[in-house]
Amino acid sequence: MSHNGAGRVSDAGAVGGPVAGAAGAGAAEDNLVRSWGRVRAALRVESGERNFDTWLAPLALLGADGDQVRLAAPTAFLADWVASHFADKLRQHWAAQRPGTRHVAVAVQAGMTATPVAATPAAVRAAIATAAAISPAAMAISLPVESRYSFDNFIVGKSNELAYNAAQAVAEPGPVGFNPLFLHGTTGLGKTHLMHAIGNAFLAEKPDAKVAYMSAEKFMVEFLAALRAKDTIAFKQRLRSVDLLMIDDVQFIAGKESTQEEFFHTMNEIISAGKRLVITADRSPQNLEGIQERILSRMAWGLVADINAADYELRLNILHAKLAGMSQNVVVPAEVIEFLARKITANVRELEGALNRVVAYAALVNQPVTLEFTRETLADLLRAHEKKLTIDEIQRKVAEYYHLKMTDLLSARRAREVARPRQVAMYLAKRLTPRSLPEIGRRFGGRDHTTVMHAVKRIEELRVADREIDADVAHLTRLLDA
Ligand SMILES: Nc1ncnc2c1ncn2[C@@H]1O[C@H](COP(=O)(O)OP(=O)(O)OP(=O)(O)O)[C@@H](O)[C@H]1O
């Protein structure tokens, strides 16, 4: 895919750039955030909800200077896509908001969360609200929760059931046995999802309640802005008047002393007033470094629930649920779902992203989703997850599968019942490992590289002509988890 038009892809500007960073609360940045809100609103209408959510919602505003606006995308794929499909629109809408804008650069910002602070729908809604002459200060408590995250579409398994049950308890009216609720787990395992689900369920029970959700980074940015504007009293009052306060990714304030001071007092006031507090972090309180002891012990007073990596069964259930919720009419065979669940193990965000990518691409190029199509579409992602398969493992599995001894497989015997499995093993070694033909030859009893080449060719032909061999190879590939 080419980086045409707006895709003057540059290095990612720092997250601490003019908009997303702590120092970015000035009037110019406010204007920029408001413009971004309007650009996004226009794009949402123009492109349709589905396209917008898939391709444009994950973008974050990094900043602007001269004739250029800088955006960030969480993956290279998305950056490419946006550059090649939305370049003109982005440029056109930005130029309308910010005269003189001639380029919109989309940078890849690895590790960026799906909803960076400067571009969460909440921030955008708040930005639009601000544009409609609500004072920026009102943003602090008016950050709405996202309706698309609910308890209903959170899939429960062993790794997250404690967190899920605790979250439900916090959302129910009536007394809660613990406060705060502290949810922790590594990235992309559903902490933010659960927070929004709490907010939605709480508001469903008590529509007049005041609910605030914000990232710890946003807490800091707003607090520092209030400090600068000598308006901290209003900041404190706004935040402490809520019925349910949720602070996401609290590890962000590690080492930020004045913010921690304020955070500690906010926590205390909320808890002692009997309001609910939910906090998330990427690790447990005892493993958070750079956070004041008194904050840690306050957190540990409540309920600390961890979310662990999803196991295979949960990954499978999540994929089925996400697929059922998709609007595209694309058939995804069970073997593809199983393949994704087997391969993408680290976090749910990535799992969901992989499924979206395959489905969106299949719809775009009008092709059926097959295992091969999935492998090709996700080649970069899968490479990163590849476990190092060795020739030795392949030989063992093949020998076992065909009920042969290893010594036979590696011997000089040419009888068909040994020679064919040997060719299959060579073929798999070539396809599934980065080893060269001469090296594979050496590992198969010192054979020449032309023998290996011949074996690979032969099996390729047989896979087309002989169903049984094709099924054997497919089965072995699965057994090898490749
Ligand atoms: N159990 C689950 N069921 C359904 N969807 C899930 C589940 N767990 C995670 N997800 C989805 O995975 C994506 C990432 O989750 P989320 O943003 O909540 O992660 P997180 O733990 O807050 O990550 P980070 O620490 O990076 O902010 C979301 O789209 C969320 O809906």
Residue 130 host element (H or E) = helix 121-131
Is 473 a domain residue? yes
Alpha-carbon gap, residue 313 to 468, rounded angstroms:
30
The verdict on 337 and 456 lying in the same domain is no
Per-residue tokens: 98: 């910010």
Say which residue, 304 or 73, is predicted with more confidence: 304
CATH number for the domain including 281? Answer: 3.40.50.300
Atom of ligand 1 nearest to the CA of 185: 21
The verdict on 302 and 165 lying in the same domain is yes
For a pLDDT cut of 90, what percent of the chain falls above it?
A: 56
Residue 427, classed as helix, strand or coil, is helix
C-alpha 194 – ligand 1 centre gap (Å): 8
The verdict on 272 and 235 lying in the same domain is yes
The verdict on 369 and 291 lying in the same domain is no
Where is the binding site, in residues? 188, 190-192
Q: Give pLDDT tens digits for 385-417.
A: 766 789 999 999 999 999 999 999 999 999 999
* Ligand 1 pocket at CB < 6 A: 113-114, 149, 153-155, 160, 185, 187-193, 249, 282, 318, 348-349, 352
Query: Taking the mean position of all CA atoms in its chain, how far away is CA 437?
Result: 38
Distances 451 to 119, 311, 469 between C-alpha atoms, Å: 57, 42, 19
CATH number for the domain including 62? Answer: 3.30.300.180
Is 130 a domain residue? yes
The verdict on 210 and 191 lying in the same domain is yes
Range among 118-127, 162-171, 344-353, 364-373 rated most confident: 162-171
The verdict on 9 and 46 lying in the same domain is yes
ipTM of the predicted assembly exceeds 0.90: yes
The verdict on 445 and 475 lying in the same domain is yes
Q: Give the CA dihedral 222, 225, 226, 227, nearest 10 degrees.
A: 120
> Does 422 score more than 60 pLDDT?
yes
Distances 41 to 36, 37, 38, 393 between C-alpha atoms, Å: 8, 6, 5, 54
Position 175 scores a pLDDT of 84
Per-residue tokens: 52: 């917008």
DSSP characters over 208-267: T--EEEEEHHHHHHHHHHHHHTT-HHHHHHHHHT-SEEEEE-GGGGTT-HHHHHHHHHHH
Total structural domains within the chain: 4
Is 139 a domain residue? no
The verdict on 193 and 288 lying in the same domain is yes
Position 429 scores a pLDDT of 96
Q: Are 264 and 298 in contact (CB under 8 A)?
A: yes
Say which residue, 479 or 440, is predicted with more confidence: 440
Residue 200, classed as helix, strand or coil, is helix
Q: Are 333 and 212 in contact (CB under 8 A)?
A: no
Say which residue, 194 or 70, is predicted with more confidence: 194
The verdict on 243 and 296 lying in the same domain is yes
Q: Domain range holding 333?
A: 312-383
Q: Give pLDDT tens digits for 7-50.
A: 332 222 222 222 333 333 466 777 888 889 888 888 887 777 77
Q: Predicted confidence band at 111 (pLDDT cuts at 50, 70, 90)? A: low
Q: Give pLDDT tens digits for 210-259.
A: 999 999 999 999 999 999 998 889 889 888 889 999 999 999 999 999 99
Say which residue, 186 or 380, is predicted with more confidence: 186
C-alpha 187 – ligand 1 centre gap (Å): 8
Position 382 scores a pLDDT of 85
Is 146 a domain residue? no
Minimum CA distance residue for ligand 1 atom 8: 190
Q: Give pLDDT tens digits for 300-358.
A: 889 999 999 999 999 999 999 999 988 777 899 999 999 999 999 889 999 999 999 99
Q: Are 427 and 456 in contact (CB under 8 A)?
A: yes
Other Cβ atoms closer than 10 A to 200: 20
Is 273 a domain residue? yes
The verdict on 80 and 192 lying in the same domain is no
The verdict on 284 and 325 lying in the same domain is no
Average pLDDT score, the chain: 84
The verdict on 316 and 289 lying in the same domain is no
Q: Is the pTM of this model over 0.90?
A: no
Average the pLDDT over each of 51-65, 263-277, 305-319 and give the range with the smallest value: 51-65
Write down which residue in 354, 383, 412 finishes a domain. Answer: 383
CATH number for the domain including 396? Answer: 1.10.1750.10
C-alpha 359 – ligand 1 centre gap (Å): 19
Is 346 a domain residue? yes
Quickly list H helices, 48-115. 49-51, 76-85, 87-97
Position 482 scores a pLDDT of 60
Write down which residue in 332, 353, 383 finishes a domain. Answer: 383
Write down which residue in 306, 336, 371 finishes a domain. Answer: 306
Minimum CA distance residue for ligand 1 atom 16: 190
Is 190 a domain residue? yes
Strands 276-281 and 244-248: parallel
Is 60 a domain residue? yes
CATH number for the domain including 332? Answer: 1.10.8.60
